[in-house]
Structure 1
Amino acid sequence: MTLPTPSTEIRPDLVLLAGRVRTGLGSAADAAETDGTGRETLPFDAVAVRGRHIVAVARRADVDGWNTSAAEIIDLGESTITAGFVDAHVHPLSGAESRHNALMLHDCETTTEVAERIAAFAAERGPEEWIRGFGLSFDMFVGHEITNEPFARAFGGRPGYLLLFDGHSIIASPRALERAGIDGTRDFGNNSSIEVYADGTPTGYLIESDAESLVTDLYPRMPVEARVTAVQNKLAEFAASGYTSLHQMNMEEGDLDVLRALEESGELPVRVRVSPLWRASDPWAETLRRMIALQGVSGRRWHVEGVKFMLDGSIDNGSAWLFEADTHGGGLEPYWTPSAQFTHAIHALAESGVPTATHAIGDKAVEFVLDAVQSLPSHAANTRHRIEHVETIPDALVPRFAELGVTASMQPIHAFAQRADGCDMWTTLLGRDSERAANGWRIADLDRSGAIVALGSDWPVEEFDGRKIFAANVTRHRHGSDRPAVDPHQALSPERTLRALTRNGWASIGHPGEGVVAPGARADLAVFADDPLSTDPDRFAESRVLLTVVDGQVAHRDSSLA
């Protein structure tokens, strides 16, 4: 059996031979067949690539009929070929810089442990050298005010800050507050805030980007050469976990220069689609012109497409936009104020054919985006729109994604912010035993409703390994953790998860025919030592990635193949 191929002679540049091919075309295309001995086998185990596209998917025996005189033939044994993974929401360039030589705090469970980690880190640095920590859990503050008091002594008078897990708030050291000139509250015109004690002095807790940036922008940028190297290394790590394409949901100053510099010396190991961020505080008319002008700027494996918005913040810090106030009285304001300006921006971009991706975590924020898309004039209705994160939504909003053609771009690992005892900050603020807390990360419900669900990591907020994202979406628990599964009824089957990590990522940006292993499709492929559809998910999370192919060229090759 062979998938339909062009009638002309097959003259590939690259031939991959494996144990099986998971085409992504559905159960009929990948159904097992029985050979003469009664042994069940999958119908395909060979892929031919010419130029940038797949030209044939067939059996090993069919390769003898191809003209392979100019081809590289790679025999990958009993491995599995799939379409390459797509990370639908990630920040690879800014993450590669910000996490360089920084303190990682994801595994800390108490403020004492964090303070000890800071003190040890500071002991190796000069008295004026910045200290930055990332991944600080909100859970250690449940029932307590969030301040810099537990960490002030550990900073030792140095400037620094700790980014909390959500990526939307920091705890700044006393010296950093002094350097930033922060001595009290300010009105940012949105839900950003400088938290203060009863006497009006700052606690060090800064919520949302307008407040955070007063401190974070003081940190010296990495030299360009070092940044190029850090990004190259990080993109190679993405490729080594099965990715062939990344959707970068921001664009910092210098990002495009870094991508250009990388392509001056070779090819990117993954595709990068860059969607610049339109902030609520940006001048409206000028930003609209700039965003439209950026569309289509590109290199060989990167391009600018779409615009990212932040309609609200996060549940953990009280800045998500909710139908009803959270248990601390927050959550009633959007980040975009007035919110009508957001709708105006969505409409203006759609009129110019520019797709959008909007960060909307709270139920009210999600509804607002759906309403904005529904209100588009008919002549602008074909532009693709996505909602990023979608952490809690009621039943009434689930079918609207499919009805409006809006993609749900979600990160299954984020669901592990919840704890079985409900003592995490996310559940505490939504209300333990509340309906909205029970409606978290409804990936399976949205998938069943017919919506396109595209999965991502949101790195550097969370880990990015594509194999672990896959396992998390099938099992609803973190690989290697002894905590119980979180809402296992929202898990997807391995088949649907593979689709959500491949084909749906492409469909979310208007290319529904990509992300499959079929003649005519882009030759973006991943080869795993284990079969993602039949292997235990936790085993697959550690499976070797033997090869990735991007644009028809080998981008990652496991050392065992050297």
Structure 2
Amino acid sequence: MRLTPLALAMAVTLPAHAATLIDNANGYTLNSTGQLVRFTSLAYDDAGRILAVGSARAVAKSAPNAKRIDMQGKTVLPGLIDAHGHVFGLGEISTAVLLYGTPSLDAALTAVADFSKAHPQRAWVLGNGWNQEIWKLGRFPTAQELDSVIPERPAVMTRVDGHAVWANTRALQLAGITNDTKDPAGGKIERDAQGNATGILVDAAMELVRAAIPKPTEAEARASLDGALAELAKVGLTSVHDAGIGVPEDRLMRSYADNGKLTARVYAMIGDTTADFDQLSQGGPVTSYANDLYALAAVKLYSDGALGSRGAALIAPYSDAPHTHGLLFYNDADMRAKMEKAMKAGYQVNVHAIGDAGNRQILDGYAALLKRYPQAARARHRIEHAQVVAPADIPRFKALNIIPSMQPTHATSDQNMAEQRVGPQRIKGAYAWRTFLKQGSTIACGSDFPIESPNPFEGLHAAVTRQDNAGVPTGGWYRNEAMTLQQAFRCFTLDAAYAAHQEKAIGSLEKGKWADFIVTDADLFKVPAANIGKIQVLQTWVAGRQVYSKP
């Protein structure tokens, strides 16, 4: 993934007009009931609020003195929304080793060595994206293997799912991790047959080494945010839900919003209910800041780990590793206490749950707490990922009005190992989008960037075809759980907005909403499904201001 500072460089402030009229467009939007609507013109006022959408004649009457912009028949869509990403993480990968898609351990080690040589000033060498399943190792890599290319400086490489790190010996030493270090609650230090730490730290154990990594400077944080915003604008994302921030990130987001530099709307979740929550929640949830550019009204918690690293908590043992069930981060009482603390403070509670045991723990917690605090149901609580769910638990999402916040590209990325992990029966409750939709659940779609590409058209493609970017597998992986194109489009627009209580402000192009829209090089509703992921964004507009134009 190549990050460029295009979004901020291309940002322009339009001259003041009573209104602006977008004309001669091949436009598509959803209305308030989710029906697909065509339009050729759109008008908005100088504040960026939509005045009218429809035919050229009808819209012109609503904005007679408007400045006209001719779209020359190009396709115009509502700005797309990613309901689960990590904004600063997206920016940070531009300054780290990129191991995404490396075909072998040797290729990954070469990439680390090349980066290390090119950046001799880096005190720590950090990277992202390795996946031992692609390497066909049949095991995790080791610290000694990483030592072979970078022995002197500490090096830490994060797995593709973000739930395991691969550290070299120097990093383990600086973190104080020895063969005698005990596994932390909710985490695991991988060990060899002799009980020696191998260099792989899973879930909560990752924090042992991350605590030793120097915190980013403010300049580095600004560079990360600039890089992320550039990439989001480039792929047509006008709004994102940031799944876990703290005090420094909140401060920087507000500063960018205040100074007109936040070129995508951010609905942020406070990471955990610890010290940062205590500080950030003093004034209660922030539902709208700087004309809906920023909100801080949710809390992000973790129930378990990820499937690829076998950290996801399963009710029965892993099919390909019968000695383990994975890891619940907290016991039921402690998990419920965190949920209750956020809920009582008025926040939407969004909990990461991948395995069926993790999902069940959180559903049980919601059932008990919503019975105790029925008014809290209005917060539209969510389970992030809802990836492997016991079939008997799927109806509970609807009964409790819990939103499954799901990432279509997770399914197409995980197809190479998911069924090995859970077997042929449990896989029927995994990535079960159609099943959730049939029962009336509202799915909020996202990508979990930078774990997956932030490009929402790749997500739309995966949702509709159940295939990866290369068209694998033929016919789609468990195609019976695919979405229709309109369902997927709604999932990345109106329903993602609903999951943030923002459906009256964004998510579709309707009178009174913000003029957040994109212009694309192809018609989403006419291209073959196989080509959806290849659609390119030509322009991105937020509140009627252009924040990106394809060079």
2:484 equivalent to 1:490? no
- Over 3 Å counting, the alpha-carbon distance change for 1:244 and 1:369 in structure 2 is same
Deviation, structure 1 residue 293: 4.0
Aligned partners of 2:211 and 2:287: how far apart in 1?
26
- Over 3 Å counting, the alpha-carbon distance change for 1:214 and 1:392 in structure 2 is same
2:341 equivalent to 1:345? no
Aligned partners of 1:460 and 1:67: how far apart in 2?
41
Aligned equivalent of 2:21: 15
Aligned equivalent of 1:414: 410
Question: How many residues align structurally?
Answer: 524
1:364 is aligned, of 357, 366, 371, to 357
Aligned equivalent of 1:65: 61
2:198 equivalent to 1:206? no
RMSD between aligned residues:
2.6
Tell me, yes or no, if the aligned pair for 1:12 and 1:48 is still in contact at 8 Å.
no
Aligned partners of 1:365 and 1:226: how far apart in 2?
35
Aligned partners of 1:371 and 1:18: how far apart in 2?
52
Q: Secondary structure at the match of 1:276?
A: strand
Aligned partners of 2:471 and 2:156: how far apart in 1?
28
Deviation, structure 1 residue 407: 0.8
**What is the correspondence of 1:17-416 to structure 2 with a 5 Å cutoff?**
17-25=23-31, 30=36, 42=38, 44-50=39-45, 51-69=47-65, 71-97=66-92, 99-126=93-120, 129-139=123-133, 140=135, 143-187=138-182, 189-209=184-204, 211-263=205-257, 265-278=259-272, 282=274, 287=277, 291=281, 293=283, 295-296=285-286, 299-300=289-290, 301-326=293-318, 327-328=320-321, 329-331=323-325, 333-336=327-330, 338-375=331-368, 376=370, 377=372, 378-416=374-412
Q: Secondary structure at the match of 1:392?
A: coil
Between 72-81 and 496-505, the greater mean CA deviation after superposition: 72-81
Deviation, structure 1 residue 292: 5.4
- Over 3 Å counting, the alpha-carbon distance change for 1:262 and 1:30 in structure 2 is closer
Deviation, structure 1 residue 444: 1.5
Structure 2, gaps ≥5 residues long: 1-16
Between 291-300 and 132-141, the greater mean CA deviation after superposition: 291-300
Deviation, structure 1 residue 251: 0.8
**What is the correspondence of 1:507-518 to structure 2 with a 5 Å cutoff?**
507-513=498-504, 514-518=506-510
- Over 3 Å counting, the alpha-carbon distance change for 1:407 and 1:493 in structure 2 is same
Between 54-63 and 550-559, the greater mean CA deviation after superposition: 550-559
- Over 3 Å counting, the alpha-carbon distance change for 1:540 and 1:195 in structure 2 is closer
Aligned partners of 1:201 and 1:166: how far apart in 2?
24
TM-score of the aligned structures, taking structure 2 as reference length: 0.88
Q: Secondary structure at the match of 2:449?
A: coil
- Over 3 Å counting, the alpha-carbon distance change for 1:30 and 1:197 in structure 2 is closer
Aligned partners of 2:383 and 2:288: how far apart in 1?
24
Per-residue displacement from partner, 1:476-529 (whole Å, max 9, x unpaired)? 112245554322222111111110000001111234444122212232222223
Aligned partners of 2:337 and 2:125: how far apart in 1?
40
Tell me, yes or no, if the aligned pair for 2:84 and 2:447 is still in contact at 8 Å.
yes
- Over 3 Å counting, the alpha-carbon distance change for 1:289 and 1:118 in structure 2 is closer
Tell me, yes or no, if the aligned pair for 1:119 and 1:155 is still in contact at 8 Å.
yes
Aligned partners of 1:467 and 1:392: how far apart in 2?
24
2:440 equivalent to 1:450? yes
2:514 equivalent to 1:522? yes
Q: Secondary structure at the match of 1:74?
A: strand
Rg larger in 1 or in 2?
1
Tell me, yes or no, if the aligned pair for 2:43 and 2:51 is still in contact at 8 Å.
yes
Tell me, yes or no, if the aligned pair for 2:284 and 2:345 is still in contact at 8 Å.
no
Aligned partners of 1:491 and 1:174: how far apart in 2?
44
Tell me, yes or no, if the aligned pair for 1:385 and 1:407 is still in contact at 8 Å.
yes
